[in-house]
Chains A and B, each alone.
Chain A
């Protein structure tokens, strides 16, 4: 785990010191230098792609704003003499210019991402297609390493460009400050994908040292390290054992493996995000929440409002909505309404947009069919949910009282089970492997081979299981309280000092002792750092 290595801890201490020692107006410079040093340390020469992304989106923003200003100036200057037709012509001309700029910026950025991340995925497919045309045409494979965090910073900078295009935010005129927004070091490797309007002004403004921020920030860091080192890196031993040897287990045990994987991926990703948010909080910066207790979701739609929030929000704002309101889908909706009736016309564009959006969410994770399947599976669930909701509204089914509670609870359990099935695609080595494991799970749910004690041997001994169960219960307890609206850190800060310090010390020592780290373990990176 990068955040618990000696160099990173030393680096952070120096950054904290420098950040609070320098003049307030220079704090952003400390962050910029730290961000580039951090990225250089991890990604070496791949920093060039970060620079290209920064420069291209920065210039695009400036140019688009210039077009806006020119248009406004011209309209203002000639407002009395211009006819409506002339005004429209000016607006159209500006719009075309802006479109060209944004298309160029998006092509550069998504082009780099596409070539580096998806090149090797697309080439065999292209070759397969080309081989039908001519057996002599063949594109050779690329041998490029994927720059760390490229999916995160590309989406973040492209989100900025789109916002400027839509005139939702003004262009950032300060190149160095904008470079900080794109490269902000705690979050560059695994998100969240922040919005310029949320993050930039915080990065650029000064932040005096604040005792409470230090306290709460470090608590969040500790909580993140707990989730990652104590839970995720422990449960992975069982997950690897079960998924690596699934034919030896009954389907029920393999499904338990999927449940354990759901814990692993959640604690791994959200643990990393907590560390990032905690570090930023110490420096007075509030990084957006990326998880909101996703396994408490009552539906798949609700799940995506709680899981990887920054990515789903990005996809919603920049893919789903534009697609839903695109001319093509509106036209499709109209046709469907004529043929299938009023409701279909309304729902069909949403179904198509959801499918496209979630297939893209899947592909965002990487160039593998299993990720495409993961996205498609979720789009399918969302679409079914959407249709079911429509039907429910139409036939006016509504639950009340105790029955409502039960249905809500069942909705939660069902959602969690469906999410766990989706994780098969994420965890398996490939799409076909995922299907094989799924088939094994359901065809041999209780009848799988139980010999050699394999059903009980899940790669963890009794003591490890005890630590894991205890830790997951602690996590559950905290999340139940959070779900009820209780701010756990604030609640703890109101306790008597002896109790509070005792709790902090116990938590620190628990992580130190029961964390899975050190020379006797193979270091586990963050799953999402690979994306």
Chain B
């Protein structure tokens, strides 16, 4: 085969990649589309290397409950919430591996609830898509894809590697403006926090977190991944802790007991905000700090994050980076967040 034909093949493949890449951007659901809260991961990748000290891995509870900007405001802690909807420990594990390619955190915070929730891959495609389609191609991403495919009866690796093969069916929904709306990575002012300024009043159920000695059963699927995360962190000398938020429907004392036991087994700190005794210290009031029965709104997140910042500061040797050069962006983003909180209050 002569050189001209080789160039023809390469040239055609290049053009195909361009067209395919462009159409992928057109067809992928944007954050304002069907998958709300798409993690704006580019902001994470754009953080200066080795400047994030705390990483949070969990589901929407973490996304809504933690504000890294408030951690910053309170104790100068740099953190990032790498939460995705219904994130299971398998996703958390590969997210950790991916995160470690960019940052060397001092603390990794895991969600205790994920020890118990049931995760079956079939029927949860939308959550894996949110987790996988929004991150860059990496070894961790490829491994995560193959784990998902292994456990799925109808998902394909190609649809994750080339998401257009999954979202091509959206051709009926697209309008002309979608051809121009191809920015998949808007800036994330809130460092992974999902801002919700809606207040839905809830009363604590009478039976909420009634103390007992029962132990909730761990999810067999979750435990190996929790252990892997802990193992990786130990190897990298990263502290790990468990954290839980009040979920009025899902929290239970049996889970609290089992979470505590797991933390003790691995010598980890377990901070359980679902226990009503801490509510007064934090200032949490379910009648104003929630937006649905299992999710805290941003006002509640600010309260918990202040308490969490103090605790992290006290427990771990975390630097206060507020006076470091190049961190001004945190202050300006914090200003925007605080303005949002104050406008609605």
Contacts and interface: CB of A to CB of B under 8 A. Distances in A.
A and B form one complex:
yes
Interface of A: 5-6, 9, 209, 211, 461, 463, 501, 504-505, 508-509, 512-515, 517-520
A211 B5 CA distance: 7
A62 B155 CA distance: 48
A512 B168 contact: yes
Interface size class of B (residues with CB under 8 A): 20 to 34
A443 B267 CA distance: 81
Contacts, number: 48
22 contacts: A6-B157, A9-B158, A211-B9, A463-B171, A501-B15, A504-B12, A505-B16, A505-B19, A512-B20, A512-B23, A512-B164, A513-B23, A513-B27, A513-B171, A515-B168, A518-B166, A518-B168, A518-B169, A519-B125, A519-B154, A519-B155, A519-B156
A508 B12 CA distance: 12
Contact of B159 (A461, A504, A515, A518): A518
Contacts of B159: 518-519
Contacts of A520: 169
Nearest to B174: A513
A518 B171 contact: no
Interface of A is mostly: helix
Interface string B1-37: 1000100010010011001100100010000000000
A508 B162 CA distance: 14
A234 to B, nearest CB: 12
Q: Which 4 A-B pairs have the closest CB atoms?
A: A211-B5, A513-B168, A6-B158, A6-B156
B265 interface: no
B172 A463 contact: yes
Contacts of B137: none
B23 to A, nearest CB: 6
A239 B118 CA distance: 40
B23 A519 contact: no
A185 B156 CA distance: 23
A288 B319 CA distance: 73
A501 B12 contact: yes
Given A518-B165, A518-B168, A519-B125, A509 B19 contact: yes
Nearest to B5: A211
Nearest to B24: A512
A81 to B, nearest CB: 63
Contacts of A6: 156-158
A6 B171 CA distance: 23
Nearest to A210: B1
Contacts of B27: 513
B162 to A, nearest CB: 9
B35 to A, nearest CB: 15
A514 B171 contact: yes
Contacts of A461: 172
Nearest to B157: A6
A459 to B, nearest CB: 15
Given A509-B19, A517-B165, A520-B169, 12 more contacts: A6-B156, A6-B157, A463-B171, A508-B16, A512-B20, A513-B27, A515-B168, A518-B159, A518-B165, A518-B166, A519-B154, A519-B156
A209 B158 contact: no
Interface string B215-240: 00000000000000000000000000
A501 B1 CA distance: 20
Most chain B CB atoms below 10 A, which of A209, A461, A504, A513: A513
A317 B27 CA distance: 53
Nearest to B170: A513
Interface in B135-173: 154-159, 164-166, 168-169, 171-172
A297 to B, nearest CB: 35
A282 B125 CA distance: 36
Contacts of A518: 159, 165-166, 168-169
Given A501-B12, A504-B12, A505-B16, A512 B165 contact: yes
B165 A5 contact: no
Contacts of A5: 156
Given A514-B171, A518-B165, A211 B23 contact: no
B23 A509 contact: yes
A390 B258 CA distance: 90
A515 B171 CA distance: 11
